[in-house]
Amino acid sequence: MWMLAGKPEAIYFDTAGPNAITELERVGHLAELYERPVHYFRMRWMGKHTEPGGFVPWRNLLFMILTTFEMGPGRLRVLIGQTLEWQVDKNAGFYRDVRRMARRLGHRDVVIEAPLVNMTKTEAVRLFLADDRFLPAHLAVTHSCLGNGPLHCGRCSSCIQRYVAFKNNGLGVGLPGEALFEFKHLPTWADYVENAKTQRSLFRPWNMVMYARRYAEARRALGR
């Protein structure tokens, strides 16, 4: 998404999560790979407020406020790498509320866009691979895990979604992009079901189509 948008300025928030050291390392690699600077914010106090499943209350609201200050005056366009999901601080209504707040209290126009919001992670990876500028090796620099350590735990929601997206695009052990599968544990259907139980508080009946699409992709990748 970032490359397709023309490589705009990037911001990384260090929230002292379990994977902060690995994230910082990967962000540095990406900055070198694409020759673009990254703005860093230290918000290490936020790590202690992390709830089960990796959710941090008000996290995206704080990110938006600090981004507005960092980028200076004028109209601001913020790109978020959200795919097909819903959270209280990651949805169209929330983005509209932030824009209204910025206009009313900060006298600024802050437009928040999520270009991949109607795509599953499988579809987002497919879009990436369809562009000749991108290689599986670029994906190997990325990291998506709620656990601690340089390897993906393979059990958290982020790991499971990453595995599903790559597997459904023909990436994996013995295939192109084998380095993407540096997991301590390769996710299974049982892991998917167990993780889904921890996400019950986020369930919303009106998102049934979204859940069905994600479920179908997980079932295809995990062999259920």
Write the pLDDT tens digit of every residue in 188-200: 999 988 888 877 7
Number of Cβ within a 10 Å radius of residue 179: 12
Q: pLDDT category, 52, cuts 50, 70, 90?
A: low
Judged against a pLDDT cut of 80, whether residue 157 lies above it is answered with yes
Residue 106 Cα to chain centre, angstroms: 27
pTM > 0.85? no
Average predicted confidence (pLDDT) for the chain:
83
Give 165's strand partners: none
Write the pLDDT tens digit of every residue in 125-135: 999 888 877 77
Give the angle 154-203-126 at the CA atoms, nearest 5°. Answer: 50
Judged against a pLDDT cut of 70, whether residue 178 lies above it is answered with no
The pLDDT assigned to 59 comes to 84
For the chain, the structural domain boundaries read 121-222
Judged against a pLDDT cut of 70, whether residue 162 lies above it is answered with yes
Judged against a pLDDT cut of 90, whether residue 119 lies above it is answered with yes
**pLDDT above 90 covers what percent of the chain?**
15
- Name the residue with higher pLDDT: 77 or 54: 77
Q: pLDDT category, 95, cuts 50, 70, 90?
A: very high
The pLDDT assigned to 96 comes to 93
Number of Cβ within a 10 Å radius of residue 107: 8
- Name the residue with higher pLDDT: 71 or 60: 60
Buried b (16+ CB within 10 A) or exposed e, 10-40: bebbbbebbbeebbeebbeebeeeeeeeeee
